[in-house]
Amino acid sequence: MNLSVAIVVLTAVVCTSAEIPHETVYVQGCLENTKVEAEAELQVDGEEVVYADFQSGREVWTLPEFLGPFPSSTVRNFYKNAVKGRRLCQDALALWILEEKCPPEVKDAPESTIYPRAEEVLGVENTLICFANHFYPPPVKVNWTKNGLEVTEGASLSRYYPNKDGTFHQFSSLSFTPQEGDVYACTVEHTALEDPKTRFWEYKIHEVSGSSAGPAVFCGVGLTLGLLGVATGTFLYVKGQQFN
């Protein structure tokens, strides 16, 4: 599949009334031959604030709406400007493809890891996170399995988010209840991977080994005897003072 991508990143440093500098990043991108035709979002200090949902025709706030470091017109016209930017991006991409004839396709394979959101406890509901990072172009596809069988209930996939180096990251989560013996896996697929990359997770019982328990017990006994000795010495000293 031929894939061409154009991404424009605009960065500015602005100040609030308290003279605190903030980094504002506007990302506008468009893709060819993909279901996701365009992307537009606004970030402040590395956190996404709002993005354009071109399918539903509106802007979506991912953090509470605030005007802080932005001029009110910038926020008010965000989606309108994103639509204009999409057209310009698509025109620029078409011209670039025409000029380059067959532009080279640069890809970065994702790094992935799997981990529980909270400390795992048997029988207590939790969430597994599959994190794919440093991939290009977006997006990735994530599949979940439990004991080798595909799982779709309780699974979700986030939007992809840009990194400062021009790559992207994306999360997938799965609601689950840890049970002894269960093995979960998340498989990440991407155009830069020759084969899907799979990560596994299973519940492990944390026990104190006998070699480490011994010194701890003897240490505790020694401390107890030491305290008893101090108490006995104090008692004899007080009684002696009474007899004197």
Mean pLDDT of 114-118: 95
Residue 172: which residues within 8 A CB-CB, separation 6 or more?
A: 129, 130, 132, 142, 144, 155, 156, 157, 158, 186
| Strand, helix or coil for residue 181 | coil
Rounded CA gap, 132 and 139, in Å?
10
Rounded CA gap, 174 and 129, in Å?
7
Q: Work out the pLDDT band at 8, boundaries 50, 70, 90.
A: low
Residue range 173-203, pLDDT digits in tens: 999 999 999 999 999 999 999 999 999 999 9
Identity of the residue numbered 16:
T
Q: Work out the pLDDT band at 75, boundaries 50, 70, 90.
A: low
Rounded CA gap, 48 and 63, in Å?
7
pLDDT at residue 230 is higher than 80:
no
Per-residue model confidence (pLDDT) at position 33: 58
Q: Work out the pLDDT band at 239, boundaries 50, 70, 90.
A: very low
Mean pLDDT of 22-46: 72
The full set of domains in the chain, from first to last, is 5-100 (3.10.320.10), 111-202 (2.60.40.10)
Q: Work out the pLDDT band at 63, boundaries 50, 70, 90.
A: low
pLDDT at residue 128 is higher than 70:
yes
What is the distance of C-alpha 194 from the center of its chain? 24
State phi, psi for 58 to the nearest 5 degrees: -155, 170
Report the range of poorest mean pLDDT among 20-24, 47-51, 171-175: 20-24
Q: Work out the pLDDT band at 48, boundaries 50, 70, 90.
A: confident
Mean pLDDT of 126-143: 95
